[in-house]
């Protein structure tokens, strides 16, 4: 492990995994640019933290927003893409707009982020692209057709991009967590079990992300899969 102060863009930084990553990185001495669609939700207050409001699901305005962001923070050398949402139904119950919205946020916005920052990342002496995937990227499940498709897409995207970046200083990594006890489940009718061995914590994924960021140059952590010791799904009344 090595410590080199980095400037890291974290999406979804106002809650859940993104927030945990931002806090962990700040504690280690890194600078963090936290992106969220609503900066009022940020609870992070730190001299090395900057909140930046962008709605990643608005693909039409995203390129211009990213251009402004990179001009303001040209020293960004790494990205942790943690923004996303879950929606679960039988396929025929999804509307076209629901399918588009889920894929836009969970996958297409990540492609646009990587596309925009990649040229500058390749100019840095060391940079990381870290995508937060899911156990849903490893195995399809009932009522998860669209969500699983978005996460399978991220996995294939990261594998191809890793190969494309092999001769540069850009490291591409994927973290696939199982069920994490966060606000992700607030709008869903199910959640992981309450016992500590039945769910992951956002801090567990943050630990994996900071391990990748601080790994010595010359190695790449391709993919990390994290799961609770016992997988338990409980349905809300």
CATH number at residue 161: 3.40.50.720
H or E element that contains 162: helix 145-164
The predicted pLDDT at position 71 comes to 96
> Does residue 198 fall inside a structural domain?
yes
| 191 φ/ψ angles, rounded to the nearest 5 degrees | -160, 165
List the pLDDT tens digit at each of the 237 positions of the chain: 667 899 999 999 988 999 999 999 999 999 999 999 887 777 767 899 999 999 999 999 999 999 999 999 999 999 999 998 888 899 999 999 999 999 999 999 999 999 999 999 999 999 999 999 999 899 999 999 999 999 999 999 999 999 999 999 999 999 999 988 888 777 777 678 888 998 989 999 999 999 999 999 889 999 999 999 998 888 877
> Does residue 84 fall inside a structural domain?
yes
Could you tell me if residue 187 is left (phi over 0), alpha (psi between -120 and 50 degrees) or otherwise beta? alpha
Q: What is the rounded distance in angstroms from the CA atom of residue 159 to the CA atom of residue 214?
A: 21
The tokens describing 196, both together, are 């500590």
H or E element that contains 81: strand 78-81
**Contact (CB, 8 A) for 51 and 72:** no
> Does residue 146 fall inside a structural domain?
yes
3 state DSSP class of 196:
coil
> Does residue 230 fall inside a structural domain?
yes
Work out how many domains the chain is built from and give that number. Answer: 1
> Does residue 227 fall inside a structural domain?
yes
The predicted pLDDT at position 109 comes to 97
Bridge-based pairing state of the strands 170-177 and 78-81: unpaired
Q: What is the rounded distance in angstroms from the CA atom of residue 178 to the CA atom of residue 191?
A: 12
Any idea which residue has 């966060």 for tokens?
Answer: 182
Any idea which residue has 């799961």 for tokens?
Answer: 227
> Does residue 1 fall inside a structural domain?
no
Q: Which domain holds residue 225?
A: 7-235
Q: From the CB of residue 125, how many other CB atoms can be counted at a distance below 10 Å?
A: 8
The tokens describing 5, both together, are 């102060």
> Does residue 157 fall inside a structural domain?
yes
Contacts of 141 (CB under 8 A, 6+ apart): 148
| Burial group, residue 18, by CB count within 10 angstroms (0-12, 13-18, 19+) | buried
The tokens describing 55, both together, are 């709605």
> Does residue 111 fall inside a structural domain?
yes
């Amino acid at each position: 492990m090595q410590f080199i102060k980095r400037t890291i863009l974290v999406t979804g930084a106002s809650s859940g995994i993104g927030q945990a990553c931002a806090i962990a990185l700040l504690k280690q001495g890194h600078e963090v640019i936290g992106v969220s669609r609503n900066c009022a939700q940020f609870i992070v207050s730190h001299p090395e933290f900057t909140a930046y409001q962008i709605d990643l699901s608005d693909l039409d305005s995203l390129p211009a927003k990213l251009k402004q962001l990179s001009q303001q923070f040209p020293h960004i050398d790494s990205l942790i893409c943690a923004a996303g949402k879950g929606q679960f139904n039988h396929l025929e119950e999804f509307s076209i707009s629901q399918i588009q919205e889920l894929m836009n946020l969970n996958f297409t916005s990540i492609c646009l982020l990587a596309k925009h920052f990649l040229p500058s990342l390749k100019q840095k002496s060391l940079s990381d692209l870290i995508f937060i995937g899911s156990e849903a990227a490893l195995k399809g499940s009932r009522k998860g057709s669209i969500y699983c498709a978005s996460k399978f897409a991220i996995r294939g995207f990261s594998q191809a991009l890793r190969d494309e970046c092999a001769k540069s200083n850009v490291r591409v990594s994927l973290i696939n967590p199982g069920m994490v006890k966060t606000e992700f489940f607030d709008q869903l009718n199910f959640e992981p079990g309450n016992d500590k061995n039945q769910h992951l914590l956002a801090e567990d994924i943050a630990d994996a992300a900071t391990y990748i960021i601080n790994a010595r140059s010359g190695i790449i952590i391709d993919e990390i899969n994290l799961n609770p010791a016992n997988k338990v799904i409980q349905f809300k009344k």
